[in-house]
C-alpha cells in the first residue's frame, strides 16, 4: 500500500505552504511564451539564477525563432555557455526554433503533445510552459518537486512520471500550478536536498520524513 497523506492532509499542507510562501511563482525571467520556452530549456541542470543572468543579455539580442536560426550552434553556444551543457542546449534550441518556424508559424504551441515534439522539451519543460505561459493547470516535476513531494508524503513514487500522476490525483486541478511553485519554493528554501531545515518547517506535523528520520 502506498504511504501518502490523505487528500485532506495534503490540502492542509498546501495551505500552510501558501502561508509561508504567499508570493511563490516562476523564478525564471520571461516576457512571453517563447522566452519562457528558451529559458526552461536552458534551466536543465542549471539554476534559475544563472539562467536569468544569461537571458538578461540573450533576450535583448534574440527575440524570435528567426533571430536564433541566423546563428550557428557554436555562435549560440558561446552565448549560453554559462548554463552548462551548452553544446546540446544550443543544438536543441536551434532545432526547436526551426520547427517553430516550419510547423507552428513561429509560435509556441499550447499543448503537451505538440510541445514534446520539440527537441529538448520533455514533460517537465512542457508543463512549465503550459502552466506559466498559457495558464493551463499543470504540475512540472523537477528535482525539487520530486524530492519534496515524496519526502513529505504528497506522492510515493520512484520516478518523475509516477510522481506527477500521484500529485495530479492528490491535488485539486485548479491548484496544480500553484502547488508546483509552492513545492519548489519549499525545496529551495527549507526542504533542501542534503540538510532539510526541519526546525523552521511549517509542515512537520504532517511530513513522513520528519516523523521517521528526525523526530524519533
Residues 6+ away with beta carbon under 8 Å from 114: 104
Tell whether residue 201 is among the known ligand binding residues: yes
Residues serving a catalytic function are 124, 142
Rg (CA), the chain: 18
C-alpha 101 chain-centroid distance: 25
Residues of the chain under the 70 pLDDT cut = 1-2, 216
Q: How far is Cα 42 from Cα 52, in angstroms, rounded to an integer?
A: 10
Q: What is the pLDDT of residue 214?
A: 80
pTM of the model: 0.93
Known binder of ligand: residue 97?
no
191 appears as a binding residue in the annotation = yes
> Would you say 138 and 130 are in contact if contact means Cβ atoms under 8 Å apart?
yes
Amino acid at each position: 500500500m502506498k504511504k501518502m497523506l490523505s487528500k485532506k492532509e495534503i490540502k492542509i499542507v498546501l495551505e500552510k505552504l501558501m502561508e509561508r510562501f504567499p508570493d511563490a511563482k516562476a523564478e525564471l525571467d520571461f516576457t512571453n511564451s517563447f522566452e519562457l520556452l528558451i529559458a526552461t530549456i536552458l534551466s536543465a541542470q542549471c539554476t534559475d539564477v544563472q539562467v536569468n543572468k544569461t537571458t538578461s543579455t540573450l533576450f535583448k539580442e534574440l527575440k524570435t525563432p528567426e533571430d536564433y536560426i541566423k546563428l550557428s550552434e557554436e555562435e549560440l553556444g558561446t552565448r549560453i555557455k554559462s548554463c552548462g551543457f551548452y553544446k546540446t542546449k544550443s543544438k536543441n534550441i536551434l532545432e526547436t526554433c526551426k520547427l517553430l518556424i516550419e510547423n507552428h508559424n513561429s509560435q509556441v504551441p499550447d499543448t503537451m503533445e505538440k510541445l514534446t515534439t520539440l527537441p529538448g522539451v520533455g514533460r517537465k519543460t512542457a508543463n512549465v510552459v503550459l502552466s506559466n505561459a498559457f495558464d493551463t493547470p499543470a504540475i512540472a516535476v523537477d528535482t525539487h518537486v520530486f524530492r519534496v513531494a515524496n519526502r513529505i508524503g504528497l506522492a510515493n513514487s520512484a520516478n518523475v512520471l509516477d510522481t506527477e500522476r500521484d500529485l495530479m490525483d492528490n491535488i485539486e486541478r485548479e491548484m496544480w500550478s500553484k502547488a508546483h511553485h509552492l513545492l519548489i519554493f519549499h525545496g529551495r528554501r527549507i526542504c533542501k536536498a542534503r540538510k532539510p531545515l526541519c526546525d523552521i518547517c511549517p509542515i512537520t506535523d504532517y511530513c513522513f520524513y520528519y516523523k521517521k528520520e528526525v523526530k524519533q
